Structure 1
């Protein structure tokens, strides 16, 4: 096992032996301490770091003193998630988990609406059902500060090197990633990865065939056919549906800028702000639908992408806002739900409203389209 981990030392999550040192680096990191102060203390206090930093460090040393193993970290994250779910959602529901084998490692491929919440909620569902939590794929574009890298790798995240640009460098990084995913699954560790790079800001949940070609790189090395290799990975599509879209206004702003100015450049710290907003704002009812493991009829990346998409769209839980935005108000029978959605939309700047409504409408229209095609056949 040590040899396997060393092979992936630059991308893998931390193991038990590395937890104590990682926590010490976090406590010693002024930027991390300042972020805690910013989001947890009154502004006048966080503005005087020479007073606040020693107090926060003292508290963290006391609080984290007993943490020695990755599982300890997972238990703390579970407690935090429990509080977050109670504070910011009306309920979180799951379907399909009872059909999965708790002893089996799966490759969970989900739609992507929130940077950290999506995999956190997948883990929450697995944790609730007494299943092992996943190792989480995270792009190196998010690791802009050393403390973010520490936090992510402590929480079973592994790094996807998106910053690699030269063809040889890219191929090397993708081959390493493909092998890491396969070796993780082979040793009983489930994996979570988003169906495409970046969140679906326009409401279109669509799998990128390039992701699936990356998975096959290791299979090609083993001289296995695409369908045979994919069957080994035990891919389970996951459809995550939020009653109130996380960071809807920020996503719409990005789309608006791209439409009117050709591009959008993120401000420094914007991803951290999105993570905090995703955690802290009210999300209403969240549903996660775990699909069936894909075992056949996928001889190419394009075919597999269509199969994953069909499961994700088909099992996507439509909330009142999806029906309203999709033009099917008669499906919404609760006036309270209508009022809640309209309150949300009232907070959206006028020029962004069409984009935010489209985010909610798209799953409704795509589901209707899939059902229509099924009926035609």
Structure 2
């Protein structure tokens, strides 16, 4: 019996059928047409859909394994990096063992790009790519579910609300992460639910408590189990924050009205904006496995926070937003000013704070 069938990524023998479902999905085909065909043609679905399907069948029809899918994703990611970044750099990968599986816990600034860029670094370093945790709130559209599970993503059931249902879902998730690591598959998971929209990267102790559920089942002390997970903190920093204006809008709305309810399709729009927007220089810093003796989820969360903050690479945008411009080039200043001119006046301070926060927290 496959006890993880409802949350795990697809296996090799499921890829071909998943691809068939994906290419039969009109909603998916229409999205591809919208972003790849001339506007006038994409609106004529009777013409656009057969064209898009024919092209995708030609490109993807022969994909039959997870490895095939990963290689295709790597191709598209390379093009995206070339088009939307000035460079992507890495540090810390040389300290990791190619034959060891790790639990990568990272800060979270972009829905899809964060784990994608972690994977790109591992792939370039000839290491196995990760299995990616993704909330079921992002899987309301069938084609998104297919795409994610084809690309080694597993599902976090955030929609579970009743206490017993939540405990069952979290226990299954905790066990799946542990078993994946034991089988030699590294895991990526964000340090908390949702992106850090205010520039503050902070680990939710609830994440650590979820991880420990399987440790309790194995009757292992917290400190011993935490070491078994081989937790590696990862800090991802973008010169130009993905979706900065929309993040600021959400913060502004919460401040004004006390809550923010996302519109239908907003997460998909954020994914596309994150892909397409200029990100400048992106740096991904890998830490070393946490080996300290810690007795509580709060203590471990605090260590992860300290490591991520120390690893975080400050860009000129972080310095400029914090008022530290002494060693920043005139070109970088001009670029940042140009970016800020695109921000509505009532959101400008929130965007500036988003960039300044890492600088302030590092106490440079």
Q: What's the TM-score once normalised by structure 1's chain length?
A: 0.96
Mind listing any 5+ residue stretches in structure 2 that lack a counterpart?
none
**SS of residue in 2 equivalent to 1:7:** coil
- Count the aligned residue pairs: 364
**2:337: which partner in 1?**
342
Counterpart of 2:347?
Answer: 352
- Which stretch has the larger CA shift, 225-234 or 37-46? 37-46
Taking the TM superposition and a 5 Å limit, the aligned residue runs for 1:228-243 are: 228-243=224-239
Counterpart secondary structure, 1:136? strand
Asked whether the equivalents of residues 141 and 163 of structure 1 are also in contact (C-alpha less than 8 Å), the reply is yes
Give the drift of 1:194: 0.1
Question: How many angstroms does 1:297 deviate by?
Answer: 2.7
- What corresponds to 1:362 in structure 2? 357
Cα distance in 1 for residues equivalent to 2:281 and 2:56: 33
Q: Deviations over 1:305-359 (max 9, x none)?
A: 1100011001100001101111211142x11011111111111000000100010
TM-score (structure 2 length as normaliser)? 0.99
Rounded to whole Å, the distance in 1 between the matches of 2:99 and 2:303 is 25
Q: Deviations over 1:198-221 (max 9, x none)?
A: 000000000000000000000000
The two structures, once aligned, show a CA RMSD in angstroms of 0.8
Give the gaps of 5 or more residues in structure 1: 372-377
2: CA distance, partners of 1:226 / 1:213:
10
- Kindly provide the CA deviation profile for residues 131-166 of structure 1, in whole angstroms up to 9, marking residues without a partner as x: 000000000000010000000000000000000000
Q: Distance in 1 between matches of 2:63 and 2:260?
A: 41
> What corresponds to 1:128 in structure 2?
124
Q: What is the CA deviation profile of residues 28-74 of structure 1, one whole-angstrom value per residue up to 9, with x for unaligned ones?
A: 00100011011111221111111111111111111112211000100
Q: Give the distance between the partners of 1:63 and 1:331, measured in 2 at CA.
A: 48
CA–CA distance in structure 2, aligned partners of residues 62 and 336 of structure 1: 44
Deviation at 1:267, TM superposition (A): 1.2
Partner of 1:160: 156
Residue 216 (structure 2) pairs with residue 216 (structure 1)? no
Pair 1:67 & 2:63 matched: yes
Q: Secondary structure at 2:281's aligned position in 1?
A: strand
CA deviations 1:4-51 (Å, max 9, x no partner) are xx1100000000000000000001001000110111112211111111
Q: Does 1:317 align with 2:313?
A: yes
